[in-house]
Amino acid sequence: QTVVTQEPSLTVSPGGTVTLTCASSTGAVTSGFYPSWFQQKPGQPPRTMIYLTSRKHSWTPARFSGSLLGGKAALTLSGVQPEDEADYYCLLSVGGAWVFGGGTKLAVL
């Protein structure tokens, strides 16, 4: 069973930059894993922020960017805003199934 690992929690100051990562127990994450990133605030459904590693939706703020970094998928927030405080989940396609990471709780303090 594939395990997808994210940092449990991160803290960033307003205006700062933070990178969240997403690793697969199967080995290096590539674009073929179709990495996606979702933001979830309390009491709300997830919202898709990044898909196919780095592509953005019309609602994705420009400060969000996705990439591959050191064998992992990565989500970077540059110029963090207070409203970015949320849980972030990555999602990978592995062998025909989809596997979520455990999520990263991002605090903006």
Partner 1 sequence: VQLVQSGAEVKKPGASVKVSCKASGYTFTTYYIHFVRQAPGQGLEWLGIVIPSDGSTNYPQKFQGRVTLTRDTSTSTVYMELSSLRSDDTAVYYCARELRGGYWDYWGQGTLVTVSS
> Which residues are at the interface with partner 1 (CB under 8 A)?
1, 34, 36, 38, 40, 45-48, 51-52, 55, 57, 89, 91, 93, 96-103
The Cα angle at residue 53 between residues 52 and 57, in degrees rounded to 5: 60
| Residue whose entry in the numeric block shows the structure tokens 């894993």 | 33
Shortest gap between Cβ of 37 and partner 1 (angstroms)?
Answer: 10
Residue placing its CB nearer to partner 1 in the complex, 2 or 17: 2
Closer to partner 1 by Cβ: residue 47 or 78: 47
Is residue 7 within 8 A of residue 20, CB to CB? The reply is: yes
Closest distance of CB 63 from partner 1, Å: 20
Please state the closest distance from residue 88 (CB atom) to partner 1, in A.
11
CA–CA separation, 7 vs 29, rounded Å? 16
State the first-to-last Cα distance of the chain, in angstroms, to the nearest integer. Answer: 36
Please say which residue, 27 or 45, places its beta carbon nearer to partner 1. 45
For the bound state, the minimum distance from the C-beta of residue 15 to partner 1, rounded and expressed in Å, comes to: 28
Specify the residue, 3 or 79, whose C-beta has the smaller distance to partner 1: 3
Contact 13, 20 (CB under 8 A): no
Q: How far apart are CA 22 and CA 25, in angstroms?
A: 10
